[in-house]
Amino acid sequence: MVPLDYGRSFLIGNGPGNEVRFWVESRTRIIDEETSEHKDYIQAGSCKSENTFAEKNLFHQDNYDFLPIFGPDDGIIFRRKAHLTAEYKSCLPVKEMWNGQKYHLIEGQKTEELTSNQTIREATYRFDPIVSQTEIWNQETKLRAIIECPVKTLNTNQESNFYQIDTGPIALPDLSKRYPRYVDSIQLAFVAFNVPDFADFVIESSTPVGEDKTTQVLHYSKLLTLPSENRLYAISV
| Alpha helices, H only, 111-226 | 117-125
Domain count, the chain: 2
* Rg of the chain taking only CA atoms, in angstroms: 19
- Report the C-alpha gap between 37 and 71 in whole angstroms: 14
Are 165 and 118 contained in the same domain? yes
- Report the C-alpha gap between 47 and 59 in whole angstroms: 11
Cβ–Cβ under 8 Å, residues 194 and 116: no
Are 34 and 80 contained in the same domain? yes
Cβ–Cβ under 8 Å, residues 68 and 42: no
Range of the domain at 226: 110-236
Q: For the beta carbon of residue 72, count every other beta carbon within 10 angstroms.
A: 12
Q: Is residue 138 a part of any domain in this protein?
A: yes
Tens digit of each residue's pLDDT, the chain (237 residues): 999 999 999 999 998 999 999 999 999 999 999 999 999 999 999 999 999 999 999 999 999 999 999 999 999 999 999 889 999 999 999 999 999 999 999 999 899 999 999 999 999 999 999 999 999 999 999 999 999 999 999 999 999 999 999 999 999 999 999 999 999 999 999 999 999 999 999 999 999 998 888 889 999 999 999 999 999 999 986
- Report the C-alpha gap between 113 and 120 in whole angstroms: 9
Q: What's residue 236's pLDDT?
A: 82
Q: What's residue 237's pLDDT?
A: 67
Are 200 and 130 contained in the same domain? yes
- List Cα–Cα distances, 226 to 98, 133, 135, 197, in angstroms: 35, 14, 10, 9
Provide the whole-model pTM: 0.95
**Nearest alpha carbon to residue 87 among 114, 57, 64:** 64
